[in-house]
Structure 1
Amino acid sequence: MAIRHYESFDLLNQLQREVNRLFEGNSPQHTQTEAELATSDWVPAVDIKEEADRFVIYADVPGVESKDIEVTLDNGTLTLKGHRQSSKIPEQRGYKRVERVSGSFLRRFALPNTVDAAKVSARSQNGVLELVIPKSQQAQSRKITVEG
């Protein structure tokens, strides 16, 4: 019996790529994005939280070592890129189904102009990548007292 790799979000990811193509232009930057997305093996799930003074992104990257994660910020686009090593499972070991995906991943986020790009930080712990993206001082809201 052959091992069947189950990828529950494969169709959803394909639909997302197609919808993204509808809204993207035909510039060379978008062509590169499409090529990179097409070669990605999986997409990490993320939670994005906005606080008064920062944004926080939590990305699930179980089994990915911090040395295998690349985070870049260029022209307002935050890119998460990396690789999870495969665990070459031979058919002789009794596996009937393999659902854990391995290989490369890529995820991009367009950031607002209000972020302080110089102070972005990232750390990985227990399979969760945490990105802290501070807002610039000018962008933070402040309470103004009304005098009467």
Structure 2
Amino acid sequence: MNVVRYRHAPRQVARQQQINQLFEHFFDKGAANAPVDAQWVPSVDVREEANRFVILADLPGVAAEAIEIQMDKGVLSIKGERANPPVGEGEKYSRNERRQGRFHREFALPDSADADGIVASGSNGVLEISIPKKAQSTPRRIQVVAPSVQ
């Protein structure tokens, strides 16, 4: 008996990838929380450091001018749009997997976040939003002074 390695046909692999993408989109918590007008949901990482919170958003192909960041009532909002690439006359896509259009993400920030100190920068298709923490009051001991007897 010969052992033959089974290989998926390319069409079957593509179909399986489409099904996987559908399930990922359906069960993606970011997509569930995205406003209705969003056409895609960028992936993000949210990290807490000793003195700040950091949000990293994957936004390749999105121009800095197309990104709007707002802070309102403890909610940080990231909106923008990735434009459709131009298609020349007589050209057509044989595959179009990258998402284009509007996106919108919102993040409820803790009370310790300092909304006035938020800064954003971008490099290599990654948006970094730095949210400093408010200075916390340090506990101090208060001595009770007894009234002096005369």
Q: TM-score, normalised by structure 1?
A: 0.70
State the superposition RMSD in angstroms.
Answer: 3.0
For 1:41-120, list aligned pairs within 5 A: 41-89=39-87, 92-93=90-91, 95-120=93-118
Distance 1:7 1:41 in 2: 19
Instruction: Give yes or no for contact 1:7–1:99 (8 Å, CA) kept in 2.
Output: no
Label 1:43 to 1:71 Cα distance change in 2 as closer, same or farther (>3 A).
same
Label 1:8 to 1:65 Cα distance change in 2 as closer, same or farther (>3 A).
farther
Give the superposition deviation at 1:8: 6.0
Give the superposition deviation at 1:96: 1.5
Instruction: Give yes or no for contact 1:58–1:130 (8 Å, CA) kept in 2.
Output: yes
Distance 1:7 1:134 in 2: 40
Give the superposition deviation at 1:10: 4.7
Distance 1:79 1:7 in 2: 30
Residue type matched to 1:12 in 2?
E
Distance 2:62 2:76 in 1: 19
* Partner SS for 2:112: coil
Gapped runs of 5+ residues in structure 2? 1-17, 141-150
Distance 1:99 1:47 in 2: 22
Give the superposition deviation at 1:131: 0.1
Residue type matched to 2:65 in 1?
K
Distance 1:94 1:86 in 2: 13
Give the superposition deviation at 1:90: 6.2
The residue that corresponds to 1:38 in the other structure is: 36
The CA deviation string for residues 43-65 of structure 1, in whole angstroms up to 9 with x for no partner, is 11111111100011110000111
Q: Does 1:12 align with 2:24?
A: yes
Label 1:7 to 1:106 Cα distance change in 2 as closer, same or farther (>3 A).
farther
* Partner SS for 1:118: helix
Give the superposition deviation at 1:95: 2.9
The structure that is helix-richer by fraction is 1
Distance 2:23 2:90 in 1: 30
Q: TM-score, normalised by structure 2?
A: 0.69
Equivalences, count: 122
Q: Which has the higher contact order (CA 8 A, sep 6+)?
A: 1
Give the superposition deviation at 1:135: 0.4
